[in-house]
Chain A
Amino acid sequence: MGHARLRIVAAATLLAFVVVLGGPPSAPAQSGSIKIGLLAPLTGAFAAIGKDMLNGTELYLDEIGRQAGGRKIELIVEDTEGNTATALTKARKLVDQDKIHVLTGGLLASTGYALHPFADAQRIPTTYPVMASDDLTQRKPAKWVVRTGWSTSQPMHPFAEWTIKNTKYRKVVTIAMDYAFGWETVGGFQRTFEEGGGQIVQTIWTPLNTNDFAPFLAQVKRDADAVLALFVGRLALQFMKQYEETGLKGKLPLLGGGTTNDEAVLPQMGDEAIGAVTALHYSAAIDTPQNRWIVEAGSSRTP
């Protein structure tokens, strides 16, 4: 269950209402329903995450009776199929045909970079609850996009420091999905890790449509101290399974970006997940009243 996404999508939805209801001081009075367009990968390799995103949004809308400021809220959902080009097409449809007031959602970091100029050009208030593309809040800030989540490399800098201080791993192989999220995950870890005295001794990039990781795992240098992995959704399940099947689990300890075994995929994993250490900005195990609520509410909605 993706409690992380349930939580942050709910927060983003709240922000969307603030954007719409607050409006600029000179804006004319609005009436009718507030239309929110949600982009989520409801089919394809990342469908489980997309369904969590939708559940999180629905959860919050139900909590507030599907209205705000005396206006009804209409949620229009589009399936991105986990594809950036499709996400952009669906965003255009939401804006041009459905006349949404707010755009939200999206999963892949590459989609985040593609939607950013679109949102600015269309002047459509947009929230990114999940997409973590680093540069959207760094070198290329988007005027019409508010990111309510995190940035990709954010957990990886401290994770590299933790690895230096708490393990003897000094030579690490990285294996990651070959797109912005993978590059920024590896890059953040590599910078701090190497500044701390470690070395990245091999980088392996895997296409997003990889179904069999065996050819890539066969390349991993066996004399390394550990492996750092970054995968998402169905790819994370497949990678972890094959990391064990190929015998690497018993030889090279596994580190990773958080999505490699977060709560979105962990319930579907077996013993292959035991021993892996990953870093993320959120855990369902956080013991606060708010988090306990979101975990319980999310669990009751997830089949």
Chain B
Amino acid sequence: MIATFPAVSQFWQYSSEEYLKLPLYTRDYPACKAC
């Protein structure tokens, strides 16, 4: 192990309310803007 992050939420450091307003991660989201 080279690094440990304690107590990581499934929403990371984002607001859960704002997080859930965004789409589920899929093949097309987030879009690959630099591809």
- Chain A residues close to B by CB (< 8 Å): 134-135, 137-139, 150-155, 157-158, 162, 166, 171, 178, 183-184, 186-188, 190-192, 194, 199-203, 205, 277, 281, 283, 285-286
- Nearest 5 A/B pairs, CB to CB: A187-B25, A157-B12, A158-B5, A199-B34, A151-B10
How many residues of B are in contact with the other chain, CB < 8 A?
A: 21
Task: Please indicate the chain A residues that have their CB under 8 angstroms from the CB of B33 in the complex.
Answer: 194, 199
Residue numbers in A under 8 Å from B30 (CB-CB)? 187, 190-191, 194
Main secondary structure of the interface of A (DSSP, over half): mixed
Q: Which of A134, A158, A187 contacts B8 (CB 8 A)?
A: A158
Is there an interface contact between B24 and A134, defined as CB atoms closer than 8 Å?
yes
Contact of A153 with B26 in the complex, beta carbons under 8 Å: no
| Distance (whole angstroms) from the CB of B20 to the closest CB of chain A | 6
Could you tell me which B residues sit within 8 Å of A by CB distance?
1-3, 5, 8-10, 12-13, 19-20, 24-27, 29-30, 32-35
Interface pair B5/A138, CB less than 8 Å apart: no
Query: Which chain B positions have C-beta within 8 A of A183?
Result: 25-27
Known: A184-B25, A186-B25, A205-B27. A134 touches B35 (CB 8 A): no
